[in-house]
Amino acid sequence: MSVSAHLKPSARTFTVEHGETLLEAGLRAGLALGYGCANGSCGKCKARVVTGSVSEVRFHDYVLSASEKHAGYTLLCCATALEDVEIEAGEADGVGDIEQQTIRARVHRLHTVGEEIMLLTVRTPRSQLLRFLSGQHVNLIVGSLMPRDVPIASCPCDGMNIQFHLRRAPGDPFVEQVFGTLKKSDEVMLEGPRGGFTLDPDSQRAILFLAYDTGFAPIHGLIEQAMNLEMPQAMHLYWTAPGSGEHYLHNLCRSWADAFDNFTYHPFVGTDLQKDLAGSGGGGDQLQGAVNGLFGSQGDLSLFDAYVAGPQWFVAQAVEGLSKQGLPRDRLFADTIDSS
């Protein structure tokens, strides 16, 4: 049996399943709740139960004072809700609320898609989950190589399993080691998070997601969080791959479109979208045609948010093209990354 938890002061609500901790349930719902160790040692997830009752389901080393217990405080990582509850808890309002972390993690999975893309998943210790906002980056340190700034492809709902998307790049020592010698259980270091390419969970505007190649990585995290938050507005993904067959998570995107009525997926290949955004034709004005079909003959984007990620040329042309179509600059969020 599930119950509801209502947060103050944000007024957000999420569902708590039987035996699930309040922290697990909140993160699963896409909320940026405050926490540290997630195992009852640090007290950073301390919150006050305003109404309803909770029960501890995990032992914790952190000691709540008698006055805190009397006031209704509990640890979100160790308590579950027995009935509908109202909780006063801290949430991250932006990147400034997320502290910098250094975490010793281990490779959990190396999955190559075709021959060119590596989906690398690393796992943190249970006592030191990575706290981040969707769309942010970390420095990934492999062996003795210099740190590589890479976007996180996963959702903050799981701070233990962190995914990255890397493209093969001959002559790049970092990527060659990932593809060539890195193996399961090898140790890596994570430093971060950093960057402000994050979802606005309070926006009610329809959303355009534009990605080029592995620029899909941070977009993937944003979409997963939006879905976990059950954001009701229309969301449209435009993903351009360098060549035919290179939408490396094509089936996942199609499954999103099939499962969610408010989500559409539009794959592009090669330079078609680049040409359209530059206004040079060539690709048959595919983006403008799709926009017209979805949003009316005017293609007016003044009531939309846009999240754009990819190489510098793509981001620059997307920003210019979308701005010309009426999308306000302050609602256009961009992340420039390389394709490795």
| Domains in the chain with CATH codes | 3-88 (3.10.20.30), 95-194 (2.40.30.10), 206-336 (3.40.50.80)
Query: What sign has the CA pseudo-torsion 306, 202, 151, 168?
Result: negative
The pLDDT tens digits for 35-87 are: 888 888 888 899 999 999 999 988 888 989 999 999 999 999 999 999 999 99
| Per-residue model confidence (pLDDT) at position 234 | 95
Q: Are 141 and 189 in contact (CB under 8 A)?
A: yes
pLDDT(274) > 90 = no
Q: Are 175 and 222 in contact (CB under 8 A)?
A: no
| Per-residue model confidence (pLDDT) at position 273 | 53
Beta strands 137-142 and 117-123, pairing class: unpaired
| Per-residue model confidence (pLDDT) at position 339 | 58
| Per-residue model confidence (pLDDT) at position 293 | 45
Cβ neighbours of residue 186 under 8 Å, at least 6 residues apart? 106, 107, 142
* Angle of CA points 13, 18, 22, to nearest 5°: 45
> Mean per-residue pLDDT for 120-144?
94
Task: Give percent above pLDDT 90 in the chain.
Answer: 68
Cβ neighbours of residue 296 under 8 Å, at least 6 residues apart? none
Q: Which residue has the higher pLDDT, 134 or 279?
A: 134
Cβ atoms < 10 Å from Cβ of 62: 17
pLDDT(105) > 60 = yes
| Per-residue model confidence (pLDDT) at position 283 | 36
Q: Under DSSP, is residue 86 helix (H, G, I), strand (E, B) or coil?
A: strand
Q: Are 25 and 14 in contact (CB under 8 A)?
A: yes
Weakest-pLDDT range from 166-170, 194-198, 247-251, 286-290: 286-290
Question: Cα(213)–Cα(298) distance, rounded to whole angstroms?
Answer: 29
pLDDT(218) > 90 = yes
Q: Which residue has the higher pLDDT, 286 or 68?
A: 68
56 forms bridges with which residues in the sheet? 79
> Mean per-residue pLDDT for 208-220?
96
| Per-residue model confidence (pLDDT) at position 291 | 43
pLDDT(138) > 80 = yes
Task: Give percent above pLDDT 70 in the chain.
Answer: 91
| Per-residue model confidence (pLDDT) at position 297 | 39
Question: Cα(74)–Cα(296) distance, rounded to whole angstroms?
Answer: 51
How high does pLDDT run on average in the chain?
Answer: 89
pLDDT(231) > 70 = yes
> Mean per-residue pLDDT for 233-243?
93
Query: What sign has the CA pseudo-torsion 122, 140, 164, 98?
Result: positive
Closest C-alpha to 123, from 181, 165, 163: 163
Q: Under DSSP, is residue 226 helix (H, G, I), strand (E, B) or coil?
A: helix
- pTM for this model (two decimals): 0.86
Question: pLDDT band at 114, cuts 50/70/90?
Answer: confident
| Per-residue model confidence (pLDDT) at position 295 | 39
CA distances (Å), 139 to each of 58, 150, 152, 181, 195, in order?
A: 33, 6, 10, 19, 11
Q: Which residue has the higher pLDDT, 169 or 285?
A: 169
> Mean per-residue pLDDT for 2-31?
92
pLDDT(306) > 90 = yes
Question: Cα(243)–Cα(249) distance, rounded to whole angstroms?
Answer: 14
| Concatenated DSSP letters of 84-131 | -EEEE--B--SGGGS--EEEEEEEEEEEEETTTEEEEEEE--TTSPPP
Q: Under DSSP, is residue 166 helix (H, G, I), strand (E, B) or coil?
A: strand
pLDDT(196) > 70 = yes
